Amino acid sequence: MFTRLKQNHRLLVLVVLGAILLFCLIIGAAFGAEAISPLDIVKMTLNKIGLSDFSLSPAWEQRNHETILFMIRLPRVVAGALVGAALAVAGVLFQGLLRNPMADPYIIGTSAGALFGATVARMLPVSLALFGFGLVPIAAFLGALAAVLVVYNLARVGGKTPVVSMLLAGFAVSAMLAAVTFFMVTLSGRTELIHIIYSFLMGSISVSGWDQIILIAPLIVGGIVLARFFAFRLNAFALGEEGAAYVGVNVEREKLLILGLGSLLTASAVSISGLVGFVGLVVPHAMRLVLGPDHRLLLPAAALSGGAFVVIADLFARTVRAPDEIQIGILTALIGAPFFIYLLRRTRREYAF
Amino acid sequence: MINLNQVSFSYNNTPVLHHIDLVVEKGEMVALLGPNGSGKTTLIKLISGVLKPSEGEIRLDGSRLSRLKRREVAQRVAVVPQQFNMPFAFTLREVVFLGRTPFLKTFSDEGKRDYQVVEQTIALIGIEQLKERFFNELSGGERQKAILAMALAQEPKLLLLDEPTAHLDINHQVEILSLVRSLNREQGLTVIGAMHDLNLAALYFNRVILLKQGSIVADGPPEKVLTEESIKEVFSASVQVTQHPVTKSPHIVITPW
């Protein structure tokens, strides 16, 4: 059995996980069609933000590498880290709220809801912008929230959310939304949309430069910071909704806030990468096993390790069959689905009919 | 302490409690007795504020319960529910810590005082040797002590028990009720408990209330309320009431037929 960490060791854990994430980011940026040495990456990045003035040689190679690093690789690994962190934290939020270790944003329909919302918005003839955000992310958020509310209410039996009914409701809603999304796109006859939707359904980190990241990063980072303030109330939800109310949680309000926050994080991740499944399942579970279920540590730990996990998965996705890319959703499903089945077997007493 | 005025409650149009009037003063130790479905658990949930009366009003220290925030209620009222599981591997100490939830502010972490209260409560209940163990690996009695510690970590003025000793071995029943009674006597903690066992209620509580089909049929000290006639009326069971050999409280004996 793992012994629990002392209070002052929590910070140490987060520092270590942060260092691992940084390491993964550098490794992720180093490999690709053109390898760049990790040391050069550090030097170039420090130079770029004006902290140092290392000289790299030869000059032509440096310019070449700088372009690759700052225009292609770094946006890609940073996007991967953001996606992983957002999905892992959304998973922790849903799992803690529903007292259910299998509530992953992909499985409970949030991701499909976000995809549906985003697709509807893309197909609208008008392009609106609110506060600088396009309509697409807003519609993705609303779709995610609507889907999770539908699944939650379908799955609820007598004040509880049993594993089986949640999985079934999530599956049905996801399948329905994916079907309707495809149907709409097919009817529209816009082949470029069909291609986009296909790549979204299997998930791939598609960013071009920093524009999209600058828009989404504040949402994800802000969402994760905000999630941390829910740590105590998420712990209290382990007592069940009634038990949480006994220790002073305003259950209905907190539930909406937590589902909303989880939907925001999911929608943000989906708008970068499409449906990358099982990250929100595997990462929180592994962290809970090692660090315990206390959300004060679990939330930030899941964010950091989720980021590292997706950066590495994405590195494999784009190097294994280079120059072609495998879609990252395929990789995470290959790792995550067997793990999901293992979890299902292990908790079978809970989901017995 | 708590004041119910003509309180009624229905679950989906099925009436459960009818026009309950009840006043419990500070320092009392009150047992709610009655068969399953008589409404004792519902009454506990109404007093805890997690259920709202369909009619009538409940006042806690003079203020209307429905107007108070959950946090404010939980700083004064704690509940020991029936058995339950935790979904994740929380340790006993972490579970007891959940009792501090109503005192934690949204944007700040726990303070020194929260840790002190948690450690003191664990020591008070006498479960120090279990505090690093996983809650779900504890025995039923140990879990119930942990839940009692969690409720006491809320530093409540009013402690509500919902059949806290059902399904427990006799030694744990006695330990838990003795602990609660000593808190009632020494610190003036007000206690209202839905109880299953008439004899335990007679031994530990100084006021008992008999409920039948959602109404109060008797209310008073055990020796007045627990009579052969009233038990026959409420439970439809023939019993003999004798005296406990030591405490002289009423002792209910079942006679087989």
**Smallest CA–CA distance from B78 into chain A, residue:** A246
Place of tokens 């068969």: B35
Quote the minimal CA–CA distance from A352 to chain B in Å: 15
> B101 and chain A: CB distance < 8 Å anywhere?
yes
> B89 and chain A: CB distance < 8 Å anywhere?
yes
Burial grade of A126 (CB within 10 A; 0-12, 13-18, 19 or more): exposed
Check whether A8 has a pLDDT greater than 80.
no
Question: In chain B, where are the structural domains located?
Answer: 1-76+156-228, 87-155
For the four alpha carbons of B52, B56, B61 and B67, in that order, the dihedral sign comes to positive
Check whether A3 has a pLDDT greater than 60.
no
Mean pLDDT of A101-127: 82
> A101 and chain B: CB distance < 8 Å anywhere?
yes
Contact A235 B98 (CB under 8 A): yes
pLDDT of res. B204 = 94
Chain A positions touching B101 (Cβ under 8 A) are 232-233, 235-236, 247-249
pLDDT of res. A133 = 56
Chain A positions touching B150 (Cβ under 8 A) are 247
Chain B positions touching A296 (Cβ under 8 A) are 109
pLDDT of res. B253 = 87
Interatomic CA distance for residues A8 and B165, integer angstroms: 38
Mean pLDDT of A182-206: 80
Closest CB to A248 among B94, B102, B107: B102
Helix spans in chain B (H): 40-48, 70-74, 92-97, 112-125, 140-153, 170-187, 198-204, 222-225, 228-235
> B86 and chain A: CB distance < 8 Å anywhere?
yes
Measure Cα distances from B96 to A82, A140, B115 in Å.
35, 40, 10
Contact B50 A245 (CB under 8 A): yes
Report pLDDT digits (tens) over B4-35: 999 999 988 888 999 999 999 999 999 999 99
Find out whether the peptide bond into A323 is cis, omega within 30 degrees of 0. yes
Closest CB to B98 among A100, A239, A250: A239
Check whether A2 has a pLDDT greater than 50.
no
Q: Work out the pLDDT band at A353, boundaries 50, 70, 90.
A: very low
Q: Which two tokens stand for residue A30?
A: 């180093």
Report pLDDT digits (tens) over B198-215: 999 999 999 999 999 999
Quote the minimal CA–CA distance from A260 to chain B in Å: 17
Contact B84 A239 (CB under 8 A): yes
Confirm if B148 and B108 have CB atoms less than 8 A apart.
Answer: no
Q: Work out the pLDDT band at A48, boundaries 50, 70, 90.
A: confident
Instruction: Give the percent of chain B with pLDDT over 70.
Output: 99
Confirm if B27 and B15 have CB atoms less than 8 A apart.
Answer: no
pLDDT of res. A350 = 44
> B79 and chain A: CB distance < 8 Å anywhere?
yes
**Of A48-62, B45-59, B110-124, which gets the smallest average pLDDT?**
A48-62
Would you identify the CATH topology of the domain B1-76+156-228? Rossmann fold (3.40.50)
Prediction ipTM score: 0.92
Higher-confidence position of A206 and A224: A224
Q: Domain A77-351 is of which CATH architecture?
A: Orthogonal Bundle (1.10)
Q: Work out the pLDDT band at A18, boundaries 50, 70, 90.
A: very high
Quote the minimal CA–CA distance from A152 to chain B in Å: 18
pLDDT of res. A4 = 52
pLDDT of res. A351 = 39
Sequence-distant (≥ 6) Cβ neighbours of residue B229 within 8 angstroms? none
Check whether B77 has a pLDDT greater than 50.
yes
Question: In chain A, where are the structural domains located?
Answer: 77-351
